[in-house]
């Protein structure tokens, strides 16, 4: 498989390392210094574009790849106010767009546990919920895309919550997200329910970028020949009982 890496920072380099180990070819490595080369990517030169860049560049990167008929796997966060525009354009072009804020397979099991826990907590009104996330200091956006997806899962399933805010809060209808930025953190997410009697929490800790990079490559191998807007539920075939 021929891969175009759109974004060649720490994550792009981790993806490249695993791609080569799995026998794939990296045809293009594009970052802010050679972004003009994006126009040379075509569906004749690459089989898939993997986009891990910066929030301010993600929309144009993804749009350009779809315009040129290239399937896109994207993991950049912080641009999602325009995600529906990309999805509509993907359908118009009969293209392929796969987005996830986190490609770790265990994180997506974590998302499912979060939803299940939120549903159960409808029977436990004395518990207050909060989310805490920790990432490296070079991560530009906060809260993380993973934390936002966790908050959305709670809001959609815990009747007393209507929104989220990126600060501690005492508002009964709001999920507070606390963000920490520390050197060399790969990523930790905690969902915590507190009452006067006890505390219940679920936690995911990423030990290295390899868990994310491996997930990206597994998706890239799976996505060939598929069309439309896809996500990790499609890849992992989750079914709600």
Kindly list the structural domains of the chain, giving each domain's residue range(s) and its CATH number in brackets, ordered by start: 2-103+209-236 (3.40.50.720), 105-205 (3.30.360.10)
β-partners of residue 97 are 72, 229
pTM (whole model) above 0.75: yes
Pick the catalytic residue from 83, 93, 139, 227: 139
What are the pLDDT digits (tens) for 37-76?
Answer: 898 899 999 999 999 999 999 999 999 999 999 999 999 9
- Asked about 135 being catalytic, the answer comes back as yes
What are the pLDDT digits (tens) for 131-161?
Answer: 999 998 888 788 998 999 999 999 999 999 9
**Rounded Cα–Cα distance for residues 208 and 27 (Å):** 25
Q: How is residue 26 annotated by DSSP?
A: E
Pick the catalytic residue from 108, 135, 161, 189: 135
């Amino acid at each position: 498989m021929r891969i175009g890496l759109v974004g060649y920072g720490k994550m792009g380099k981790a993806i490249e390392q695993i791609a080569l180990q799995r026998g794939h070819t990296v045809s293009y490595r594009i970052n802010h210094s050679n972004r003009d080369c994006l126009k040379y990517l075509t569906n004749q030169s690459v089989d898939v574009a993997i986009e891990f860049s910066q929030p301010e560049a993600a929309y144009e990167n993804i749009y350009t790849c779809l315009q040129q008929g290239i399937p896109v796997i994207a993991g950049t966060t912080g641009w999602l106010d325009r995600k529906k525009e990309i999805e509509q354009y993907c359908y118009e072009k009969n293209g392929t767009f796969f987005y996830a804020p986190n490609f770790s397979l265990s994180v997506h099991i974590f998302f499912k546990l979060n939803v299940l826990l939120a549903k159960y907590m409808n029977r436990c009104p004395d518990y207050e919920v909060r989310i805490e996330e920790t990432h490296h200091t070079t991560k530009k956006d906060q809260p993380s895309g993973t934390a936002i997806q966790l908050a959305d899962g709670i809001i959609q399933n815990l009747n007393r919550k209507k929104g989220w805010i990126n600060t501690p809060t005492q508002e009964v209808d709001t999920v507070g997200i606390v963000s920490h930025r520390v050197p060399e953190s790969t990523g930790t997410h905690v969902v915590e329910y507190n009452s006067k009697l006890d505390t219940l929490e679920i936690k995911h800790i990423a030990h290295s970028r390899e868990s994310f990079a491996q997930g990206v490559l597994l998706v890239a191998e799976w996505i060939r020949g598929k069309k439309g807007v896809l996500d990790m539920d499609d890849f992992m075939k989750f079914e709600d009982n």
